[in-house]
């Protein structure tokens, strides 16, 4: 029997930034399956930049908040 695929949940955040004249969009995605969670930082048109497997929803939210703070410090905004 094939296991069920990961299911995408609500994005933790979406940020944009202008780099070399190009408007970039990044979204922090939360995926889950049977008690397992994954947080993915996805840059539109370029793919996944980072991912983290975490054991709980609260650690997924904490990971997203950490990534958002780091990106905001680099000039990304909502």
CA distance 43 to 64: 14
Interior CA angle at 70 toward 17 and 29, to 5°? 75
Number of domains the chain is built from: 1
The alpha carbon of 23 is separated from its chain's Cα centroid by a whole number of angstroms, namely 18
The predicted pLDDT at position 36 comes to: 86
Confirm whether 25 is domain-assigned.
Answer: yes
Confirm whether 53 is domain-assigned.
Answer: yes
The alpha carbon of 71 is separated from its chain's Cα centroid by a whole number of angstroms, namely 12
pLDDT in tens, 39-75: 999 999 899 999 999 999 999 999 999 999 999 999 9
Confirm whether 1 is domain-assigned.
Answer: no
Give the predicted TM-score (pTM) of the model. Answer: 0.88
Confirm whether 18 is domain-assigned.
Answer: yes
Q: What is the extent of the structural domain holding 35? A: 7-68
pLDDT in tens, 8-18: 999 999 999 99
Confirm whether 11 is domain-assigned.
Answer: yes
Confirm whether 43 is domain-assigned.
Answer: yes
Confirm whether 2 is domain-assigned.
Answer: no
């Amino acid at each position: 029997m094939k296991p069920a695929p990961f299911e995408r949940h609500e994005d933790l955040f979406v940020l944009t930034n202008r780099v070399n004249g190009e408007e970039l969009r990044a979204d922090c995605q939360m995926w889950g399956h049977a008690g397992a969670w994954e947080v993915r930082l996805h840059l539109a048109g370029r793919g996944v930049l980072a991912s983290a497997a975490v054991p709980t929803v609260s650690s997924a939210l904490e990971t997203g908040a950490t990534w958002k703070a780091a990106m905001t410090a680099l000039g990304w905004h909502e």
